[in-house]
Amino acid sequence: MSNYKSKQNKYKNLLILGIIWLLGALCDRIWFALDRSVPAWDQADYLTGSLNYWHALQNPQWFNQEWWQSFWLLSSKIPPLTYIVTAIVQNIFGIGPDQATLMMLFFSAILLTSVYGLGTVLFSETVGLWAAALCQILPALYLLRLEFLLDYPLAAVVTLSFFCLSVWRMTVDKGVFASFSFPTSPTPPTQWFWAAAFGLTLGLALMVKQTALFFLLTPIVWVGVGALRHRRWGRLLQLLGSLCFSVLVFGPWYRTNWLIILTSGKRATIDSAIAERQPGLDKLESWMYYWNQLPYQVSLPLLFVPLVSLLIWWGRSKFASENPKLETIPSSKPNQQNSSLIWLLVFCIGGYFLSCLNVNKHERYVLPYLPAVTVLLAYGLTRWRSLFGQRVRWGTFGLAIILMLLNLFSVGGVVGGWMTQVLSPNSEHYPYMKAEFPHQQVIGQIIQTEPYLRSTLGVLPSTGEVNQHNFNYYGALQNFQVYGRQVGIRKKFVEQDARSLSWFVTKTGNQGPVKEAQALMVKTVEQGGNFQLNKSWNLPDNSQLMLYHQQTPTLKVRQTSQQNSQAKIALSQVIVPEKAPPGVPIPVSYEWSGSWDELQHGLVLLTWRKNGQIIPNTDSWIHDHGIAMGAMHPGAKKPERTFQVIEKMAMLPPSTLAPGTYTLDAIYLNRLSGESYPLSVPKVTLQIDPQAPAIQAPELDLVTQLESLGAQLPKGTEAVTQVFDEVGRINQYDPIQDYLVQARLTLEYRLQHFTQNRDWAYALALANVLQRRVDGAIASLKQVTDLDPENPYAHAYLAFVQLYNWQPRTAEKSLEPSLAKYPNLPEFRVLSGVAALMQGNFVKAWKDLSTLRK
């Protein structure tokens, strides 16, 4: 009978928990139905990330290692679990911001279930239910349920992991398996199950965000130290086993992106904190920041009523320990309750202080410890069984619900505004219900103007409503045909930015937190004469949004009247000046025709060689690239006809080029099939004359720029810094970095079928490195060391990539020629130290890495 009643209570509690989730879900979906806003910076960036994974999962290749490599590379800085979950949700319900936010319901269910379980195992089912209810009405939690950010999913998965750790810990501490001793007795399966569950959820938490470790590290260390202190070797083995299991979950993504994580982590923390002028760790303000935010995150009624109730209960329990009205759970043991309270405080205080060590602070960064705080608050609310205690409990809960509704919906008027300002300040978050923003219309206008091309839109303002991330997101919703990028943020790149993009958007009024160069960039676009206003829109704040298009577009794609859809590629026309000097960009126009697929997948290997010359590596230069610079959009709606592509570009003959008359040779290469064939070239000649005046030319295409940067790599460290500075710039112009694919495939073809050119090999290695094709990078750098064996930097580059691929012993061997030539060069010593450290040779690592202190 008791078992039946227990099951009945369990089902009743689960039903109540389901109702709590459903009511919160209804409130959230009503808010989203009313809201007509556009996502801000981070929200739009994360939404785009979810679309990237949605697109990748349309054609998964589960048993293809290269597919998995590219899958993990889709998000290099931020772990992708939230993106993947959202991609699955959007695969069911469709793509769009409202559909994407449905994933919050999934994480909300995880959070409520985990909090209920945590409260139940630590105290009672009543505490668990109240804690779950409080999670729905805590301002910090309900506000972030309405934003597509990583913090709410992180809070849910961290709470789930902490719950699993707590259950595993209590299976031992409660003495359930007191007969277990290691290693003579078998380990109970239940303990191993919960240890495995903790390992799995820890791995999942680290796949949501790296900061999960801030909150779970302290309880892990607490349990580990306790097991060592009491010599519970079986418990320690289970803990270590669960940690190893977690590595299997998060390891593949971290192994692929570890270097980017380290470099971007500094920018996201230290650099951001400096830019926002946040106090350093030597300031008390830095350590009190989250404490000061707690009343706003919880609200005053939910913070003070449970705490006061708990303090009064503790005080009275000392003098009336036998009074039954003072115990919510008569069967609970005081020692167990104290242990549970200490355990919760270990989690919360540890998470607090480790979060404070992050100099870049925001109140949402500590969201993962708030569900545990609700368990403490629920414990305080449920200490009183008297009628007065019930009225206080339900009155506090009802007041918190009213405050939540007043903060989320503009229904309270003056009285409601006064209540929220006093009792739940800084939590107002009404849905935006005014006129819609024109982002989708801007994207549609670009696609209508250039229906066959993938376009990059330079976004010059950067406000919460008008920024590069939300334009990029709405472009991604249109089959990834338009990408938004912020340019014009560095003065030295303004001219190149203006010459490299065909589309720009500007606005009047507030420009947002933009850089000093932005005003110059706006002036260049609006008044420079190279762009014309394409269309403008009025914004809800009475400012105006303007879309500018290049007057003479770099690319034109149009369909011809011919019906032959299987036509081979033809080079119809080449336009160059009669004379030009070497060493400066020369304008050139190519006109291609053929079927859509041949054009879209086509690469052309163009060699300008001295008239009559047979060997293409002497007194020549190359101008390889993808047709239309690889910008023909694969998803464009197109009839089965022949198309024409006109490219207006610039090429760069070497400064050492001998004077004379140069002619063109062309080879077509299909990037998918590998098919290649020579192209017939119209009669064209170009006279290279050092005395000829320079001619105004467009910006060099990205493949040519990459090849020029690759030729600088033999110079070493200073060149590398400049190379990656320039790469960061040109990556903005080609958001999918297709120029790297073009360069890699054309250079591989040349090195295989023509001659072993050192500069080509360096450029190929650079293209592989930038694509993080580790095997390809190692192979191309080995080729570099063969062609340039006396250059110590070539061997160092190879060693660096091998270290990135976790091959320290091989890297150490590759580095030997570098150290033999320059044994005291700091960069070489650091690489040697890292190789030693990865092999466990700590003495050598300390000796080599000590150069960093100098």
Q: Once rounded to an integer, what is the mean pLDDT over residues 401-414?
A: 91
Q: For residues 819 and 795, what is the distance between their CA atoms, to the nearest angstrom? A: 10
What does the pLDDT read at residue 412?
78
- pLDDT band per the 50, 70, 90 thresholds, residue 186: very low
Of the listed ranges 147-161, 385-399, 667-681, 730-744, the one predicted with least confidence: 385-399
- pLDDT band per the 50, 70, 90 thresholds, residue 836: very high
Q: Which tens digits make up the pLDDT trace of 166-180? A: 999 988 655 433 333
Residue 516 pLDDT > 60, yes or no?
yes
> What does DSSP say about strands 642-651 and 555-559: parallel, antiparallel, or unpaired?
antiparallel
Q: Once rounded to an integer, what is the mean pLDDT over residues 172-190?
A: 48
Whether the CB-CB separation of 530 and 501 falls below 8 Å is answered with no
Residue 188 pLDDT > 70, yes or no?
no
Whether the CB-CB separation of 95 and 55 falls below 8 Å is answered with no
Residue 238 pLDDT > 80, yes or no?
yes
Q: Once rounded to an integer, what is the mean pLDDT over residues 383-387?
A: 83
Of the listed ranges 212-216, 314-318, 519-523, 579-583, the one predicted with least confidence: 314-318
What does the pLDDT read at residue 177?
35
Q: For residues 810 and 791, what is the distance between their CA atoms, to the nearest angstrom? A: 19
What does the pLDDT read at residue 514?
83
Query: What is the CATH class of 555-699?
Result: mainly beta
Q: Give which of 777, 771, 819, 776 is closest to 796, Cα–Cα.
A: 819
Residue 567 pLDDT > 90, yes or no?
no
Residue 104's CB: how many other CB atoms inside 10 A?
27
Residue 444 pLDDT > 70, yes or no?
yes
Q: For residues 24 and 674, what is the distance between their CA atoms, to the nearest angstrom? A: 55
- pLDDT band per the 50, 70, 90 thresholds, residue 387: confident
What does the pLDDT read at residue 269?
65
Residue 326 pLDDT > 50, yes or no?
no
What does the pLDDT read at residue 845?
87
Residue 183 pLDDT > 50, yes or no?
no
Whether the CB-CB separation of 683 and 712 falls below 8 Å is answered with no
Of the listed ranges 164-173, 524-533, 555-564, the one predicted with least confidence: 555-564
What does the pLDDT read at residue 824?
87
- For the chain, first and last CA: distance in Å? 76
One-letter amino acid of 748: E
Q: For residues 447 and 455, what is the distance between their CA atoms, to the nearest angstrom? A: 8
Query: What is the CATH class of 442-550?
Result: alpha beta
Structure tokens at 307: 């705490």
Of the listed ranges 130-134, 272-276, 375-379, 570-574, the one predicted with least confidence: 272-276
Q: For residues 120 and 672, what is the distance between their CA atoms, to the nearest angstrom? A: 58
Whether the CB-CB separation of 593 and 678 falls below 8 Å is answered with no
All structural domains of the chain with their residue ranges: 2-284, 442-550, 555-699, 703-853
Percentage of the chain exceeding pLDDT 90: 76
Whole-number average pLDDT of the chain: 90
- pLDDT band per the 50, 70, 90 thresholds, residue 635: confident
The count of C-alpha atoms lying within 13 angstroms of the C-alpha of 739, restricted to the half-sphere facing its C-beta, is: 19
CATH T-level fold of 703-853: 1.25.40
The count of C-alpha atoms lying within 13 angstroms of the C-alpha of 338, restricted to the half-sphere facing its C-beta, is: 4
Q: Which tens digits make up the pLDDT trace of 265-285? A: 666 666 666 666 777 787 888
The count of C-alpha atoms lying within 13 angstroms of the C-alpha of 688, restricted to the half-sphere facing its C-beta, is: 25
Residue 356's CB: how many other CB atoms inside 10 A?
19
Q: Which tens digits make up the pLDDT trace of 416-425? A: 888 989 999 9
Residue 636 pLDDT > 80, yes or no?
no
Q: Which tens digits make up the pLDDT trace of 806-833? A: 999 999 999 999 999 998 898 999 999 9
The count of C-alpha atoms lying within 13 angstroms of the C-alpha of 317, restricted to the half-sphere facing its C-beta, is: 13
Cα-to-chain-centroid distance, residue 538: 32
Q: Once rounded to an integer, what is the mean pLDDT over residues 588-604?
A: 94
- Exposed/middle/buried for residue 160 (C-beta within 10 Å: 0-12, 13-18, 19+): buried
What does the pLDDT read at residue 176?
38
Provide long-range contacts, Cβ within 8 A and 24+ apart, for 711-714. Answer: 711/759, 711/762, 711/763, 713/762, 713/765, 713/766, 713/793, 713/797, 714/758, 714/762, 714/788, 714/791, 714/793, 714/794
What does the pLDDT read at residue 265?
65
Answer with the residue of higher pLDDT: 316 or 542.
542
